[in-house]
Structures are given as structure tokens and as C-alpha cells.
Amino acid sequence: MNLTGNAGVGMQRHDLEATRRGRFFCCSVMNEEHALRIFLIGGSPEAQPPARLAPAPGEPVIAADHGAVHARAWGWPLHLLVGDLDSLGAEEIAHVAAGGVPIFTAPAAKDETDLELALAHALARGADEVIICAALGGRADHMLANVLLLARPELADLAVTLVDGRESIRLLRSGGSAPVHLELLGAKGDLLSLLPLGCDAVGVTTEGLQYPLHDETLFLGQARGVSNIFTSARADVTLRLGLLLVIHTIADG
């Protein structure tokens, strides 16, 4: 994958595996000093701005094609536009260029989606945490592909979250002999769904939910983990073996 763009981005081809940090994603809050958080904005036509979440000053925002439209509508700064630009009109492209934003133009015939290219740029910049917005809704194939991005091996040591409106999705994955843990901050009445990905999720334990699990197995293809409820402002999920999608929906109001 060539990451050298047409507007002076000047990134060289990089080894995605080299971006791994040797750190284990085990909680929802990045505590490391100087951690770099990058926001990506996909092109889902039905996207909503993330609830209670926006880039802080200095945090990079990368748009994948139509994501530039969302960035403008949400009032977010834009630091890089990536993609084949087939979903942007000439006026929108000119607006981005006039703002001095670098544009990486990719060919329409390519192996990666525009969002994958944006993710590659985030990894090349050394992101420790990636927030992916506007990647849910719209076409089912695009939505499923975006969710499955979370399972990429090079993201195992990073904190990566898909966020759209009141919904957020993360992937909890086992990686050794010790269980992995995820802490989620929310409010009483929020929903939490746990879905195994690719295989059974073994040794699932939860706290702070109306229907607790105690070292139990969630079987692939079964919906037992759907629509649990926060009983306080915090919920905890522990996993011993497998891959587990953790879907948090903020309650109305």
C-alpha cells in the first residue's frame, strides 16, 4: 500500500505490524502519558455525530471520502482527507483544499476501502487510540466490513472504538493466559450487548449489569448477550478466551 499522497502528505509505505506497541487493550480509558488519539470519519450517509465525544484541541481528524462532509456539518476540524473521492462533489473537494487540508487521492480500483486507507494513515502517525465515526448504518456490506476492522491483528494493542450517535462498539480479545478486562463508563439504564465474534467467547464475567454473567460461555450465533442494562454508572466485562464485541448504547435523555 503506497501512502504517498498528491498534496504533500509525503508518508512512506509502512509496516502495519511495526505500529504495535506491545501494550494490551484492557480498559476504556487511555492512561498513558502523551497517548495519541486520532479520529477517523467514515462516509456512512446516515451517520450521527458521537454523543458526548469530540476531538480535543490538537487531536488529528482524518476523513475518508464523504467523511469530509460530516466533519464540516459537525463543526470538526479536518487535518487529512483520504480516498478515491467518488462520493464528494467538486465544490466540497475545493472547500477542503481551500482550507489547506492535505488530500491523499487513491485510485477507485484498489484493494482497500477508503476507511481502511484512513486507518493506515492513523497507524502511520503512531496512534495509540483510534475513534472511528460514521462507519455504521448505510449499506450492510460496508457496515459489517467496518465492524470486522476491529479484528485486524495490527489493532490488537490499540484502543479502537466505532462510534455513531449514542452507540459505540469495541472488541475485547484474549491474548494470553490472563483474562482481559474492559471498564465501561455510562449511566444507569444504558444498554450493553456482548456478541462473540468468530468463535465462542469463554469465561465471560460481568459486573454492574442487570443480568450478570459469572465465568460463562457466550456461544457463537446465539443472542444471549444482547440488551443487558447498566445498573449504575459503570459496567465491567472480563473475558478469558475468544473475541467479544462490546456494544454500548447510551440511554435516551
112 plus 209 within the same structural domain: no
List pLDDT tens digits, range 21-46: 222 222 333 344 578 999 999 999 88
Q: Is residue 237 domain-resident? A: yes
Cα dihedral 173, 176, 181, 182 in deg (nearest 10): -30
Cell 502517525 belongs to 125
What's the confidence (pLDDT) of residue 253? 66
Domain count, the chain: 2
Cell reading at 163: 462510534
Please give the model's pTM, rounded to 2 decimal places.
0.84
Give the C-alpha separation, 111 to 98, whole Å: 29
List pLDDT tens digits, range 163-173: 999 999 999 99
Torsions phi, psi of 47, nearest 5? Answer: -65, 145
205 plus 157 within the same structural domain: no
pLDDT score of 8 more than 50: no
156 plus 185 within the same structural domain: no
Q: Is residue 6 domain-resident? A: no
CA separation, residue 6 to residues 2, 49, 132 (Å): 11, 29, 24
Give the C-alpha separation, 107 to 84, whole Å: 5
143 plus 194 within the same structural domain: no
DSSP state of 206: E
What amino acid occupies position 109? Answer: A
91 plus 123 within the same structural domain: yes
Scored b (16 or more CB within 10 A) or e, 163-199 reads bbbbbbbbbbbbeeeebbebebebeeebbbbbbbbee
> Residue 185 sits in which domain range?
167-253
Q: Is residue 7 domain-resident? A: no
71 plus 132 within the same structural domain: yes
List pLDDT tens digits, range 88-137: 889 999 999 999 999 999 988 888 999 999 999 999 999 999 999 999 98
Q: Of the candidates 106, 135, 165, which is a domain's last residue?
A: 165
Task: Please report, for the domain that includes residue 98, its CATH number.
Answer: 3.40.50.10240
